Each structure stands twice: as C-alpha cells, then as structure tokens.
Amino acid sequence: MKYILFAIVSILTSLILVACGGNPAQDVYEHLELAVELEQPFEEQQQPLYQAEERENELFEEIITVGTGELSEIEPLVEEALESIESRLLMVEIEEESINVSFEEFNEIEQYKEQIAQTELEQAFTALLDTMNSRYEDYQLLNEAYKDAAEADKKLFESFLDEELTFEQLQEYVDTVNEKYAEVDQYTQSFNEATDLYNEKKRAFYEAADLNISYES
C-alpha cells in the first residue's frame, strides 16, 4: 500500500505550423500530442489512488490497534479496506485503457517511416519509436506488478477475519505485500526513466524538424 508517483508525458504546443499539409514532421507532431491528451485519464487516477492507499494504511493500523481477536470491530474495517482495493483496481483499469489507447495513437506515426527514412530526421524519429516502445513495455510490467501487489493487499486484509490467524502467518502476509511493492517500486523507476527519456527524444525530434514549440509541462 504505497503511493506511486508516475512521470507524465510532456505536452508540447506548436506555435507555428511548418507547412499547411503534406509535411510528415508536422503530421507526426499531431499524432504525438494527441497521444498525450489520450493519457490524461491515466494522470487523473494518481490522486484518487493516493487517497485510497493512504486510507488503507490507516485501516491496517486501526486493525492492528484493535487486535485480531475482536472480529466484530475488525469486520467493518476489513470490508472498507477490501472495497478500497477493488476501487484501486478499477482505477488501474482506467489507467491501462488510457495508456493502450495512447499507444495506439502513437503507433500511427509508423506510416511516416518511409517518408522520413534517409532524411536528417531519421535518427531522431527512430529514437522516438524505440523509447516509446520501451516505455510501453515498462508500463506493462508495472501494471501487472501493481495488480499483483493489490491482490496481496486483499489477502492480507482477508487474513484478519481468520480467528486462528497466528502472528507468524500475519508476518508472512505482510512480507509478501512488502516484496510485491518493492517490485512495483522497481518497475515505477524504470517507467519514469523511460517517460523522461521519451520526452527528451520527442523534443529532440521537434527541434530537428524545426518545429516552433512551447513547453506547457
């Protein structure tokens, strides 16, 4: 139950169009920035995820304080925690859909590969493709790790309803949760680094294409 801060793809705004049409660099720009907009739901889930995880931490502490022998007091706390975890998994589904739709839009730039080949933009364009593909792969690993960690959270809270739960068993559940979130931390770092690198490569492509842009975020 940890808050994971994700790096966000930056929004770059073109101030002057390079040409009225038929310019592959400008077409690439439009697809890339639409892809950023399609990731907005992903960004919007971060604060509610944080709030849900913070509340689950509070519930865990309350249960430990009450004691596992007081089932009548523990049950509503466990129920609230499990509902919170389910809500997080729904938020993760929204995140996943957002990332997938954004990646589909990004892949639209593949159609300009031949036009850009053997031009001064080829290297920057190839770097753009490689870094986004790597970022998407990192997200898939992160997404699976996060869902696994949430499932471990569920098992931990459900264990409190077991009247025969021992301290050793509880410790095993806690250790599993900690291990899962250690993996999440690793994948989060990789995803954030890939996002930062993608933002750099995107700016490099725009600069190589002489697109006049401003940096909004």
CA R_g for the chain: 22
Local structure of 15: helix, strand or coil: strand
15 pLDDT tier (thresholds 50, 70, 90): very low
Beta bridge partners of 212: 16
Tell me what the mean pLDDT of segment 131-150 comes to: 97
The overall average pLDDT reported for the chain is: 89
Of the candidate ranges 8-22, 32-46, 66-80, 132-146, the one whose mean pLDDT is the lowest = 8-22
Mean pLDDT over residues 163-170, rounded?
A: 92
Say how many residues make up the chain.
Answer: 217
Domain spans in the chain, listed from the N-terminal domain onward: 23-212
pLDDT at 179: 97
Q: Are strands 12-16 and 212-215 parallel, antiparallel or unpaired?
A: antiparallel
Q: Model confidence at 20, in pLDDT bands (50, 70, 90)? A: very low
> 23-212 sits in which CATH class?
mainly alpha
Q: Does 3 score more than 50 pLDDT? A: no
Q: Is residue 211 over pLDDT 90?
A: no
Q: Which pLDDT score is estimated for 9? A: 63
Query: CA–CA separation, 35 vs 204, rounded Å?
Result: 17
Instruction: Average the pLDDT over 49-78 and give the result.
Output: 92
Residues 189 and 141 sit within 8 Å (Cβ to Cβ)? no
Amino acid 8: pLDDT: 63
Do 26 and 82 touch, CB atoms closer than 8 A? no
pLDDT, tens digit (0-9, with 9 covering 90-100), for 167-206: 999 999 999 999 999 999 999 999 999 999 999 999 999 9
- pLDDT tens digits for range 28-63: 999 999 999 999 999 999 999 999 999 999 999 999
13 within 8 A of 69, measured Cβ to Cβ: no
What does pTM read for this prediction? Answer: 0.87
